[in-house]
């Protein structure tokens, strides 16, 4: 039954909603606007909001001066690599736990969750030293390994809650009809599992892309992804606001778009299925 909403009330909330939304979004909007300014107008006081000479110069500068593309590709490699390996390991595990749960499945799930709660500083020292000895510091492969491991519990959990929703009866029906295990997986399970796997991939790429503890501590120059590259603007010499804004806009744009498509999955993944 639809509620009848008086027009005045609706208009009031429209204004209220938009003002709040724009207020919270403002720092991002400001970053995007600043990225099109010259360094001079970027620090102008009073600030210039819209009426300035729009320029793309910062975007070219960021690329030519600091090889932005390399850091971007590092981010892509690290987030996609860790997601892919994580999936390869997690899909069988989540599958087994959802469809043929061994005893103590619940305990194993809870234990996996608990590894996610280990504060990274608790293992910073040994990981740093091991990486130094194994020559993994400042390498993409090193970061892929670490990010795979820190996000593995979330991947397993998310897949598990999605697989759990696939009705077991369908499997039985397929088996009755004489489907082999291989056929069962390809024709029955896979199509139903695809949406869950896709959302898991999305969430995990977002998390890996934005991860900023290990990426900052384990990289220097070669393997630095965007998180670490942007952090280099924190030094006092790096106070080029327009360039910082251009680099930032490029760094957050892909994830903003991905994230906007996967709001619901975000809730589900980040609460380990506690809120759906």
Partner 1 sequence: MTTLHTRSAARFMMTPAVMLLLAWMIVPLVMTVYFSFLRYNLLMPGTEEAVGFENYSYFLTDPAFKTALLNTLLLVAGVLLITVIGGIFLALLLDQPFFGQGIVRLLVIAPFLVMPTVSALVWKNMLMHPVNGLFAWVAKSFGAQPIDWLAVLPLLSVILIVAWQWLPFATLILLTALQSLDEEQREAAGMDGAGPISMFFYIVLPHLARAITVVVLIETIFLLSVFAEILVTTNGGPGYESTNLAYLVYALALLQFDVGGASAGGIIAVILANIVAFFLIRMIGRNLET
Residues 76-115 that bind partner 1 (CB under 8 A): 89-90, 92-93, 95-97, 99-102, 106, 108-110, 112-115
Which residue shows structure tokens 């397993």?
Answer: 156
4 makes contact with partner 1 (CB under 8 A): no
Give the Cα-Cα-Cα angle 124, 137, 224 (nearest 5 degrees).
100
Nearer to partner 1 (CB atom), residue 46 or residue 191: 46
CB nearer to partner 1: pick between 97 and 201: 97
CB nearer partner 1, residue 44 or residue 221: 44
Which residues in 207-266 contact partner 1 (CB under 8 A)?
Answer: 209-210, 212-213, 216-217, 226-228, 230-231, 233-234, 239, 241, 244-245, 248, 251-252, 255-256, 258-260, 263-264, 266
Three-class DSSP category at 110: helix
Taking the complex as a whole, the smallest distance from the CB of residue 187 to partner 1 amounts, in Å, to: 19
Total residues contacting partner 1 by CB under 8 A comes to 103
Whether residue 220 contacts residue 137, with contact meaning beta carbons closer than 8 Å, is answered with: yes
**Which lies closer to partner 1 via its Cβ, residue 25 or residue 60?**
25
Q: Which of residues 21-50 bind partner 1 (CB under 8 A)?
A: 21-22, 24-25, 27-28, 30-31, 34, 43-47
Shortest distance (Å) from residue 110 CB to partner 1: 5
* Shortest Cβ 25–partner 1 spacing (Å): 4
CA-nearest of 208, 207, 231 to 219 is 231
DSSP 21: H
Rg (CA), the chain: 23
- Residue tagged 């860790």 (tokens): 82
Containing 25, the helix (H) or strand (E) segment is: helix 7-34
In total, the chain counts a number of residues equal to 276
Residues with Cβ within 8 Å of 176's Cβ and at least 6 positions away in sequence, in order, are none
Which residues 117-176 are close enough to bind partner 1 by CB under 8 A? Answer: 117-130, 149-150, 152-153, 156, 168, 172
Distances (CA, A) of 202 to 69, 87, 219: 22, 12, 24
């Amino acid at each position: 039954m639809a509620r009848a909403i008086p027009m005045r009330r609706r208009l009031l909330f429209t204004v209220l909603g938009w003002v709040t939304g724009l207020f919270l979004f403002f720092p991002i909007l400001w970053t995007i606007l600043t990225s099109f300014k010259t360094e001079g107008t970027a620090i102008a006081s009073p600030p210039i909001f819209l009426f300035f000479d729009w320029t793309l110069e910062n975007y070219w500068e960021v690329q030519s001066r600091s090889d932005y593309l390399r850091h971007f590709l590092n981010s892509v490699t690290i987030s996609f690599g860790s997601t892919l390996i994580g999936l390869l390991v997690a899909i069988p595990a989540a599958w087994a736990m959802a469809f043929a749960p061994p005893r103590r499945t619940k305990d194993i799930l809870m234990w996996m969750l608990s590894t996610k709660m280990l504060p990274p500083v608790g293992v910073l020292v040994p990981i740093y030293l091991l990486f130094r000895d194994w020559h993994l510091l400042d390498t993409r492969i090193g970061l892929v390994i670490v990010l795979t491991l820190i996000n593995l519990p979330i991947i397993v959990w998310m897949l598990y809650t999605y697989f759990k929703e696939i009705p077991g009866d369908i499997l039985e029906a397929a088996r009755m009809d004489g489907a082999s295990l291989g056929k069962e997986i390809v024709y029955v399970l896979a199509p139903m599992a695809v949406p869950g796997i896709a959302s898991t991939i999305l969430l995990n790429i977002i998390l890996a892309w934005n991860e900023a503890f290990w990426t900052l501590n384990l990289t220097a120059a070669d393997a630095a992804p965007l998180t670490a590259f942007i952090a280099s603007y924190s030094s006092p010499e790096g106070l080029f606001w327009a360039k910082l804004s251009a680099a930032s806009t490029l760094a957050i744009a892909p994830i903003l778009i991905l994230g906007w498509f996967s709001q619901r999955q975000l809730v589900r993944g980040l609460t380990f299925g506690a809120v759906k």
